[in-house]
Amino acid sequence: MLDRIALPLLRPALSVAARALNRRGVHADHVTVFGFVIGMLAAWAIALNHFSLGLALLLISRLFDGIDGTLARLTAPTARGGFLDITLDFLFYASIPLAFAIAQPTTNALPAAVLLAAFIGTASTFLAFATLAAQRGMKSAAFPDKGFYYLGGLTEATETLICFALMCLWPAQFAVFAYSFAALCGLTIATRLWAGWRAFSD
């Protein structure tokens, strides 16, 4: 929901960074992988109860996640780049609840499991819609720069990042944030199911 607000605000800074990397011959795929590695280090830090470090690394990771697409569009976006971007993004998102479960398994394991189950729901509805939309040649008017049909919802990347940041700032309240965000994910799943039902009804 907030991505369509956040992305235009961030685009000028991302463009400056992408142009600087492009001049140095850095490939977008390298930025994607580097951002993912930083994200995994964030999960590792959280699992070790270093929540402030985890938050810092998490934010750096998402910065590079924003740069890679901008950098790709300066040259020529590739199917490989799109595949890497979406796959590594979902792996990163799954790693953070898992890291909190490892950090405090007694209190965090169940809410982390609920949140991960909700993530499976949002991811599957997102990817299933994108696959069928591609087959029908559908384009997203809200996110025209995406390499695939980007179906929005109540819990997009911006909301997820905010949730992760809150968890890092107040780790003792992880269960509250996890259950609350899982409920919001449930609403996203419902709206995407309805959108798919309408879009693909012949």
Domain with residue 112: its CATH number is: 1.20.120.1760
> What pLDDT sits at residue 46?
98
Q: What are phi and psi of 104, to 5 degrees?
A: -140, 75
| Residue among 22, 31, 84, 83 nearest 62 (CA) | 31
| Residue among 147, 175, 19, 150 nearest 83 (CA) | 147
Dig out the tokens for 186 from the structure.
């449930």
> What pLDDT sits at residue 150?
64
CB atoms within 10 A of CB 33: 15
> What pLDDT sits at residue 6?
67
Q: Which domain holds residue 80?
A: 3-199
| Residue among 71, 57, 59, 56 nearest 11 (CA) | 71
Is 129 buried (19+), middle (13-18) or exposed (0-12) by CB count in 10 A? Answer: buried
CB atoms within 10 A of CB 122: 24
Torsion sign (Cα): 103, 109, 115, 117: positive
Residue by residue, pLDDT tens for the chain (202 residues) are 665 666 667 777 878 887 888 888 888 899 999 999 999 999 999 999 999 999 999 999 999 988 988 888 888 778 888 889 989 999 999 999 999 999 999 999 999 999 999 999 999 998 888 888 878 777 665 555 555 666 667 788 889 999 999 999 999 999 999 999 999 999 999 999 998 898 888 6
Dig out the tokens for 163 from the structure.
């949730």
| Cβ atoms 59, 35 nearer than 8 A | no
> What pLDDT sits at residue 141?
53
The count of domains in the chain is: 1
| Residue among 53, 34, 29, 32 nearest 42 (CA) | 53
